[in-house]
Amino acid sequence: MKPFNTGHEELVHDVAYDFYGRRIATCSSDTSVKVFDRNDSTGEWDISDSWKAHDASIIKVCWANPEFGKVLATCSHDSTIKVWEENIREKQNSGKRWKRVATITDHKGPIYDLAFSPSHCGLKLASISTDGQFKIHEALDPNAIGSWTNIFETNTLSSAPSRQLQSSFCLSWGKSRFSKEYVVACALEQSYIYQRQENGKYIQTGQLPAHGSIIRDISWAPSIGRGYQLIATACKDGLVRIFKIEEPLTEGGQLQVSLINQFDDHKGDVWRVSWNLTGTILSSAGDDGRVRLWKSTYNKEFQCVGIVSAEQKHDAIED
């Protein structure tokens, strides 16, 4: 592991790889977005372009599936979502290579999380803001990404959080192409699972058990060859949790949710969780400055199989 200097002037809030892992997008409190390309000759990340994208801190940046083109979305404390498309005719590092094609303005509070849906669900953006408003927008014509329609919204909070308390909001789409369309949204210590019905409407079909503190991050695992789903959460109470999600046998029933593993190895706040492409390895990052790798054993119990630190080398994972 070696340092990667983004060149941002303030705190970096998010780093996102594209579908192929060949490009990186970063966003920051300096209100700019930067895109880097992998240089195979040097092993370094070369900056492709940098531009001012919002009027306040940018909290999230995400890539659309490449079948929809070279498209990014960003969300900010200025309460807007912006969609960007790359124009390869513009020179690199010109500040003009990424063109804003849409601005979504119907959130009333700062937006904390944003994610494109899996490609088999169409071109959709889920987002959640500090007032608890969870929304899904869709580009009904993927060839016209300048037009987005609000197809679902709900309030995930019963009351506004106290300004004196820390807050956190996050979301994750279900990844399985062979399952129904799901998305999970977290507000503070609660999380709700929504399912798209055949009529196109979304309804709540499940809920994770309440956590001991606010949920910092949530990640729905890809499901390859499993008859159930997995969701992992990162929590301020220092725990990484893994939940098993089973679909009901009857139409319209509630999902069966059970906690199958939890770990306190980070000994402090856990900030991020993320699955690999096959949903077999979970990574978690915490206040201890380490990324821990978790893998299911033969009896379907997860255990730590590797630790990565910026300070020193640890045992590598073997697969």
What's the confidence (pLDDT) of residue 119? 96
Say if 64 falls within a structural domain: yes
What's the confidence (pLDDT) of residue 314? 45
Q: How far apart are CA 113 and CA 128, in angstroms?
A: 6
Nearest Cα to 36, choosing from 116, 84, 113, 93? 93
Say if 74 falls within a structural domain: yes
Output the six-digit token pair for 248.
């009901």
**CATH code, domain carrying 109:** 2.130.10.10
CB 151 within 8 A of CB 200: yes
Tally the domains of the chain. 1
In three-state secondary structure terms, 121 is helix
What's the confidence (pLDDT) of residue 1? 67
Q: Report pTM.
A: 0.93
Say if 87 falls within a structural domain: yes
Say if 175 falls within a structural domain: no
Say if 231 falls within a structural domain: no
Q: Give the domain range for residue 23.
A: 1-155
Say if 174 falls within a structural domain: no
pLDDT in tens, 23-66: 999 999 999 999 999 999 998 999 999 999 999 999 999 999 99
What is the SS3 string spanning 42-72? CCCEEEEEEEECCCCCEEEEEECCHHHCCEE
pLDDT tens by residue, the chain, 319 residues: 677 899 999 999 999 999 999 999 999 999 999 999 999 999 899 999 999 999 999 999 999 999 999 999 999 999 999 999 999 999 999 999 999 999 999 999 999 999 999 999 999 999 999 999 999 999 999 899 999 999 999 999 987 766 657 899 999 999 998 889 999 999 999 999 999 999 999 999 999 998 989 999 999 999 888 889 999 999 999 999 999 999 886 666 899 999 999 999 999 999 999 999 999 999 999 999 999 999 998 888 899 999 999 765 544 444 4
Say if 171 falls within a structural domain: no
Say if 76 falls within a structural domain: yes
Q: Please provide residue 102's backbone torsions phi and psi, each rounded to the nearest 5 degrees.
A: -160, 145
